[in-house]
Amino acid sequence: MRRLKRAQQRDARERKTFKHRAVVTGAAAAITLGAGFELNKAVAANVPDKHQLVVKQDADADLLTEREELAIGYKPFVADQNRNGIPDGVELAARCAAIIAQLPWEADAAPGATYKWHTPQFGLETCDICGETVNMGPAGIVNPKLGLNVDCSLIALHYMEHGSFSFAGDIHIGRIDIPALMRALEVRFPEEPDEHQLPVASDDLDGDLLTDNEELAAGYNLYDADQDNNLVPDGIDLAKQCGEVIEALPVHEPNAPGVDELYKADFRQRGIELCEICGESVNMGYWQVINPKLGLSLEVPDIVCHYMQHGSFSYWGDRHGKGRIDVALLAKILEMPRRCGDLGTIFAPADLNQDCKTDLADLAKLAERWLDSTEPNTQ
């Protein structure tokens, strides 16, 4: 009980320090912008799980330090890059824990496969927050291909499952080496995988589910898997965006007179097609997507639309079999980026929060950055 009380007192001190820094930042910006303006959701939000220990030098309060974010390619001033309502550090910790849970133990691992190890000892370690006990022995992750061995005690894994890379037990207290762990696990993105996101058959240098030829043809960066920095691989991002655009297109007859804007024509048939991944049924026909201004069109089967909704340009149905839509042609016909925020959008220099508007929110972002520093020796 005394140990738990000390942990709670320490956590309270950390929260007080963080709250003071957040209030100073918010107050200074509020002086600039006027009272009552919402500055930053991350500053106002409380920590929902006491296991999620705050860290110093964390300008955006996402539970990743600025140095860690720069090391793993995240944005140190954006707390929720994929805008799903979960701080990046919390989401990434939970995602890494889920991957580790699926790893084989050393004795069961295939040659060259990444595995986890644990040396049990006669004794238990107690979590300072909830009192749960785990074995006190050392543990870690090994990636033989890369020659990496990253320490990850069971108490650290317990905290990661709760969304924290920092941990505090009655034996081990510290923080996971995040860049090393992500490298060993060969993961960057925190999102959950979807079995519909089929691997591409050709070269994919950056592993974003767009082939190198597709990226070159469509004008995307084949060396950057997340060129808009929203923590969603570009191929998944683009597929979902194209699917949304097609879904919203008006329907006209083919070669309809007087129609000079992008539209689709209905060629669906009497019959269904089953997705070989999830078993969902869709119409066995297709939409013809037509761009009259460019004089281009493309057949997009319903099964392809189904897979694009899941973030994949590759598809697998019981009628159309396995295949892949012509990504470059589709992007050209749809004139992507069609909407501000789509992959490839060039934001105005003053649009600091990249919400496609230049307003007081950007001034608030400027005020926040003015008061922050990523210098390693500053507090």
| Interval 344-356: pLDDT, tens | 777 677 766 666 7
pLDDT at 13: 46
pLDDT at 329: 97
pLDDT at 23: 31
**Of 217 and 40, more confident:** 217
- For the chain, helix, strand, coil in percent to 5 are 35, 15, 50
**8 Å CB contact between 312 and 330:** no
Predicted confidence band at 5 (pLDDT cuts at 50, 70, 90)? Answer: very low
Section 29-42 average pLDDT: 30
Question: For residues 354 and 99, what is the distance between their CA atoms, to the nearest angstrom?
Answer: 31
pLDDT at 124: 97
pLDDT at 301: 97
Section 323-329 average pLDDT: 97
**Of 372 and 27, more confident:** 372
Question: For residues 273 and 252, what is the distance between their CA atoms, to the nearest angstrom?
Answer: 24
**Of 11 and 110, more confident:** 110
Section 6-12 average pLDDT: 49
Judge whether residue 248 has pLDDT over 50. Answer: yes
Question: For residues 45 and 28, what is the distance between their CA atoms, to the nearest angstrom?
Answer: 18
Judge whether residue 145 has pLDDT over 90. Answer: yes
Section 92-120 average pLDDT: 95
CA distances from 181 to 177, 226, 230, 254, 270 (A): 6, 20, 21, 53, 51
Domain parsing of the chain, residue ranges: 1-192+347-379, 212-333
Predicted confidence band at 41 (pLDDT cuts at 50, 70, 90)? Answer: very low
pLDDT at 28: 29
